[in-house]
Each structure stands twice: as structure tokens, then as C-alpha cells.
């Protein structure tokens, strides 16, 4: 299945982003790369918002954000209504973020995981289906919190 994927990251993630784009494009996915390639540091919050908005508006099926640790990026991504971002630091975390939380954005810390591990975690994330059931009820509860409901 061909996916529309939006990706972005800060200066820490550029080499990994370039590799991910190459891999996903070779697999036939449509990849929109929003990464700023300026000299010097790049602030990640606006990039996280851009990826999140593309996913929330259904302009992309999924989003990928790459930063240094990924911690700030996952916080920023989850500020966008409709985004459920998970930090990919282990197979278990990836399985839970997709299988239980139906994460639509994956965040990778380029300083935390090497390229090979990052690509393996991304592959696992893309291949993991949402379980539904009780997890769908919980995702719906999260959506209600986002909308200001009790």
C-alpha cells in the first residue's frame, strides 16, 4: 500500500531524514519533506506543527519527525489536535504507540538511535496495525480530552 508521508526535523536529524526519504521513496511511498536545511540550529516546534497539521488535515497518512532526543518533538507534535505521536526508542514503544495508541506520527531521536536501529523501528512502526477494541475506546477518550470534554 502506498502511503503519503510527511517528514521533517531539525539540524540533528538531517542525515537520517535524507536516508529515510530515500528508503521510503524507493518503496513507492509519496514523501513530502518539510525539513529546513539552513546553516546552524533549526527550531523544531514549527516543524512538528507542520507535520502534525498535515496529518490532522489528512494531507498525509502518517508523519515522521526526527530530532536530537525526540523528547521535545513528541511534546510539540502532541499539541496539534488529532495527532498521536509516539517516541520510537524501542520495539516495545513502537508496538504500543501503533498497536494501542494508533499513533499517526513517529518521532525518532537521532542522538538516541543509530541509523540502522531507527530504520528498523520505523519499519516496525509502519507494519504494526492498530488493535482496535478497548484501545479504540481509549483513543476516543483522548480525542474528547483534546476537544475540551470531560
What's the confidence (pLDDT) of residue 37?
Answer: 85
Q: Domains for the chain: give ranges and CATH numbers.
A: 4-146 (3.40.1400.10)
Contact 149, 141 (CB under 8 A): no
What's the confidence (pLDDT) of residue 149?
Answer: 74
Residues near 46 by Cβ (< 8 Å), separated by ≥ 6?
none
What's the confidence (pLDDT) of residue 15?
Answer: 94
* pTM, 2 dp: 0.95
Model confidence at 60: pLDDT above 80: yes
Contact 99, 129 (CB under 8 A): yes
Q: Please, what's the b/e burial string for 96-118 (b: 16 or more CB within 10 A of its CB; e: otherwise)?
A: ebbbbbbbbbbbbbbebbeeeeb
Contact 106, 78 (CB under 8 A): no
Amino acid at each position: 500500500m502506498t502511503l503519503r508521508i510527511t517528514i521533517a526535523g531539525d539540524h540533528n536529524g538531517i542525515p537520517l531524514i535524507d536516508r529515510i526519504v530515500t528508503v521510503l521513496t524507493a518503496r513507492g511511498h509519496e514523501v513530502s519533506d518539510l525539513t529546513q536545511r539552513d546553516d546552524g540550529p533549526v527550531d523544531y516546534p514549527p516543524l512538528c506543527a507542520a507535520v502534525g497539521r498535515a496529518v490532522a488535515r489528512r494531507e498525509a497518512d502518517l508523519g515522521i519527525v526526527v530530532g536530537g532526543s525526540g523528547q521535545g518533538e513528541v511534546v510539540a507534535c502532541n499539541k496539534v489536535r488529532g495527532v498521536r505521536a509516539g517516541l520510537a526508542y524501542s520495539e516495545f514503544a513502537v508496538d504500543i504507540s501503533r498497536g494501542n495508541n494508533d499513533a499517526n506520527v513517529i518521532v525518532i531521536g537521532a542522538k538516541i538511535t543509530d541509523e540502522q536501529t531507527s530504520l528498523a523501528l520505523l519499519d516496525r512502526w509502519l507494519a504494526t496495525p492498530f488493535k482496535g477494541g478497548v484501545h479504540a475506546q481509549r483513543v476516543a477518550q483522548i480525542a474528547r480530552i483534546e476537544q475540551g470534554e470531560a
